Each structure stands twice: as C-alpha cells, then as structure tokens.
Structure 1
Amino acid sequence: MGTSRHDRETRTLPALAPAVVEVPFGITCYDEVVAHDTTWNAHSHPWHELLWNQRGASTAVVETRVWTITPTVGLWMPAGVLHSGSAAAGTWFRASFFGLGGAGTISETPVAVEITPLLRLLLERLGEPALPAASRSVTEAMVLDVLTPSPRELLYDVPVSALLRPIAEAVRRDPRDQRTLANWSTELGVSPRTITRAFNAETGTSFARWVATVRAQRAVELLTRGWEVEDVAETVGYRSASAFGAAFRRTTGLTPGAFRSR
C-alpha cells in the first residue's frame, strides 16, 4: 500500500516470518525506478533478499544500524529480519528474492554484498522473462556461487543513550556540524573521555570515525544524484574537495568519483 504527499511516498509492507513460499523460481528479481522520495515501514519477508541499485543510493535500517546501498555494494537481508528503508526520487533499485527451499544463505544476519560486474550480469539475466528453465537453473547456481560479503560496507550504528542522542541527532540532521569532541564535552557537561567511552560502547567506533561515516553516507547519496564533488564536500562539512576526498577514501576505500551518477 502506498500513500503520496508533497512528492513523498510511504509504503507499508507486512512483517512476515521465514517460511517456504511457493515461488516460480529459486531466485525472483524485481526492479523499480521510484518517482518520489520513498520510505518503507519496518517489515520483513518470508524469503531472503538481496538489495542493490542500478542507479542511485538508498538506505536500509535494522534496529539501530543504518546501511547505505549503492550500485557497487548491496545488502543481504535474511528472511524474517525486520527492516525499514528509504530511497530518493529517481533511484533505480533492484531486489532479488531467494526462496528458502534451496537457496541457502551467505549470512544469518544482514551483511553488505559486493555487487561485482559478474554478479550484476547474472542477476540481470535472471530478469529475462524468456530465459529457458535449464539456463535459469545454471544462472541461479552461479549467483549463489559468486555472492561475496563486501569489506566496503557503508554502515553505522545510531547511538540511543540520553548522553549521545543529541550528538547523533545533530550530525545526522546536518553533517556540516563542526562541533568537536571538546565542544560537545562543554555543551553536555561531561568529560571528553566519557563521550569517547560511550561512543565505543554504543557504536564500536570513535566519535571522529562515526561522524566521518555519517558524512560519507550523505555524500554517497548526493554523489549518486549527480552533485559535483566540490558541492558535496561543502554540504557534508569539509573545507575543501581534497580534504573531503581523503576522508571519503579512508571511510569507503573508494574515491568520490566512483559514486558519481553518470
């Protein structure tokens, strides 16, 4: 079900437990170009799902974890895992559904997946309606063989404690926020060490690396929309394109140009 208001659409899907569902093939593919900024409520599928994009960037959220999905890094979502999502207008997203009857799983928890050129071609081939049954069976087997977790996942945990919530809300709302650990320490009336310990406990990383990841995720969204690197750098809080590029490479392992919409 979908509702549209002010060029924003919200889609509501059910939360379903893992189950063997009758599907026409072992792997069923779906794709769509969203016309509006779109959000999906928290839902789950009875089958495994591989999310990736032909064009643009989208977001998937599981509890406090936020992934960015791109044309090169997808997300494996196991059956029954509750997740919500969002995609900007113009995003061409793809979803491949893996029936539980014989597909197996690469992970019992959500994990980033490398969308290699070979995997992309195989998944696109499965979308051909006239693909012979024998060819489909071989292609499905090859997909399962080449599915590989990605070391380049764009992921961060959202802090939820009363101490860190103001920081998380401020940075996620505006990645240009330049307040340092010392600034936040003064504002919140606690020591920098207290904030550092809380970030490590709640997110598994430091304040600085967490901010860099939030900025990188916003940057990927803007880059895939076709923004110029210089404009993205300013929007996410860097004083120059070179400083942004260096920080972006440290976080993602890639240059900003790798995500530019073509």
Structure 2
Amino acid sequence: MSASAAVPGQQRPRETRTLPAVPPGAVADSFRVACYGEVVTRDTTWSEHSHPFHELLWNGRGASTAVVGARVWTITPTLGLWMPAGTPHSGSAIAGTWFRASFFGFGGAPSISDVPVAVEITPLLRLLLERLDEPGLAPASRAVTEAMLLDVLAPSPRELLLQVPVSALLRPIAEAVREDPRDQRTLTHWAAELGVSPRTISRAFNAETGISFARWVAAVRAQHAVALLTRGLPVEVVADLVGYQSASAFCAAFRRTTGLTPGAFRAS
C-alpha cells in the first residue's frame, strides 16, 4: 500500500517524524503497561526506529501501516500488530486516524512473539486497553486489569500482510500497483514492457512473495480498500478506486483476502 493510503493519485500534505533506534531493555522502565494515543491531523510517516519495550499498535479510528523490512501490515480498529522490543520498523497513518499504542515494559511483561504478529482487537481486549488509559486508575485496579490484559493477549492468524518484492525485475511492477491499485496491466503486459516471459514474472512473484501475481495484486487492493472503507467511502466507490469493475467483484475478492465482506469489516 502506498504510504499515504489515500485515494490513488491524490496528493495530500504529509508530515514525517523521526524517532531513534533503541535496543531492547536499553532504557529502564517503571511500568508494566503504558498507553498512548493521538489523532493525526495530516498524513504522517514515522521513519524507521525501534523501542526498548514491546509495543501493541492498534487504532481507535482509521487505518495505518507498519513496515518491517519488505513486509507491510495494515492496522485497523479490529486488527492490531505486536511489535517486539528492538524490532526496526517504520509506519504511516492517514489524516484523521486515531492511532493507539500500548507499551509493555521489557522486564515486566513477556513478549507474545519474537517476531511481529497480528493481534485481533476483540471487544474484551479493547475494553481492557481503554481502561488502562483512564486517568486516575487506582493501583490495585490497574494491576488486575494488566493481569487480565496479559492473559487474553495472543497472536491472531488473521492479518493484513503484504510481502513487497524488492528485486530489480519486480520492483517496477510493485511500485506501479501499490501507487495505483487500479492498474490493470496483466502478466502479459508487464512481460512485454520488461522484455521477459510471463512465466519468468510468475515464478519471480511466487519466489519473492510466496503467492501468485494475481493474489498479490488482490492483497494490495485489499490493503488500499481497508484504508478507504475506514474513511467512510461507499463500497461502490471503493471498488472503483481499487480497480474492480463492479462492487460484487470487489466484495468477493475482499472476502477471499480478508475473510470478511466490506460491510462486515466496516461493522467490526
């Protein structure tokens, strides 16, 4: 997904924030779980950085992305991302996104994974996270809530993850499709442009991403669609903006990729 997660081709003002890279446990912390939230007023990018503590990224509203190497996760109000301490990552959020971050003390809370993993933000998990963000929460209540949070926190097999190909052969294709998911060029078209066979491109996509070119394009479109749906755009409009000729075709493809229909995703 393009960093702006905006309507394809639309130019929007952008803010870039630079954060340090800090190794795990390098900074003493006196908390078990600490919460932060902010509504960004402009499309915002965070440069690559790392934290000395574990982090759970999720959104109260809107969509954002987190990037680790060539992997791009989409974060929503119902699908968060666990980022282990010391993991270099960058990120972006569109204007109006209410992003939330819960920090877990490196010495006081075990990591649920050694690598970034998706976390489903269930109603119970959201309730616990929001309670910990309440000002003036009594120490005894905080301790009980933190223990419950750590008990229910777990990786989820459901994720919006895109593996971005980085080879010289596939980079032009990946950049074009991520910049504008309405791009309708097929393997045959790309092969003619790049002077190779369609089979060569097909094999390269499977080798670099683990999925076919068609499934990869569908994943890019799904990530764009998530951002547009969270901004309240009608399904018919989103379908057109991400390259589908009909709302029904978009709904079917979105469900194959995410496991939810666009309506069910928006309701969740």
Using the size of structure 2 for normalisation, the TM-score is 0.92
Q: Which residue matches 1:201?
A: 207
Query: C-alpha offsets along residues 79-102 of structure 1, whole Å, 9 cap, x if unaligned?
Result: 111111110110001000000112
Does the 8 Å contact 2:170/2:204 carry over to 1? Answer: yes
| 1:139 corresponds to 2:145 | yes
| 1:125 corresponds to 2:103 | no
Question: Secondary structure of the residue that 1:125 maps to in structure 2?
Answer: helix
Q: Which residue matches 1:47?
A: 53
CA distance in 2, matches of 1:73, 1:186: 39
Out of 170, 185, 189, the residue aligned to residue 179 of structure 1 is: 185
- Which letter does structure 2 place at the counterpart of 1:177? D
| 1:154 corresponds to 2:151 | no
Out of 238, 242, 262, the residue aligned to residue 232 of structure 1 is: 238
Question: Secondary structure of the residue that 1:260 maps to in structure 2?
Answer: helix
| 1:88 corresponds to 2:94 | yes
Aligned counterparts, 1:1-262, within 5 A: 7-19=13-25, 21-260=27-266
**Displacement of 1:179 after TM fit?**
0.9
- Which letter does structure 1 place at the counterpart of 2:52? P
CA distance in 2, matches of 1:55, 1:257: 16
Structure 1 residue ranges (4+ consecutive) displaced by more than 6 angstroms after TM superposition? none
CA distance in 2, matches of 1:187, 1:222: 30
Does the 8 Å contact 2:71/2:161 carry over to 1? Answer: yes
Does the 8 Å contact 1:159/1:202 carry over to 2? Answer: yes
Q: Share of identical aligned residues, percent? A: 77
Q: Which residue matches 2:8?
A: none
Query: C-alpha offsets along residues 155-176 of structure 1, whole Å, 9 cap, x if unaligned?
Result: 1111111110111011011100
Question: Secondary structure of the residue that 2:202 maps to in structure 1?
Answer: helix
Does the 8 Å contact 1:224/1:259 carry over to 2? Answer: no
Which one is further off, 204-213 or 186-195? 186-195
Does the 8 Å contact 1:227/1:260 carry over to 2? Answer: no
- Which letter does structure 1 place at the counterpart of 2:189? N
**Displacement of 1:8 after TM fit?**
1.9
Does the 8 Å contact 1:37/1:87 carry over to 2? Answer: yes
Aligned residues: 257
Structure 1 residue runs without a partner (length 5+): 1-5
Does the 8 Å contact 1:59/1:87 carry over to 2? Answer: yes
Q: Which residue matches 1:3?
A: none
Which one is further off, 125-134 or 179-188? 179-188
**Displacement of 1:200 after TM fit?**
1.2
Query: C-alpha offsets along residues 162-212 of structure 1, whole Å, 9 cap, x if unaligned?
Result: 110111011011100111112212222222221111111111111111100
Does the 8 Å contact 2:15/2:43 carry over to 1? Answer: yes
Does the 8 Å contact 2:58/2:79 carry over to 1? Answer: yes
Does the 8 Å contact 2:30/2:105 carry over to 1? Answer: no
Q: Which has the higher contact order (CA 8 A, sep 6+)?
A: 2
**Displacement of 1:252 after TM fit?**
0.3
**Displacement of 1:7 after TM fit?**
3.5
Does the 8 Å contact 2:31/2:108 carry over to 1? Answer: no
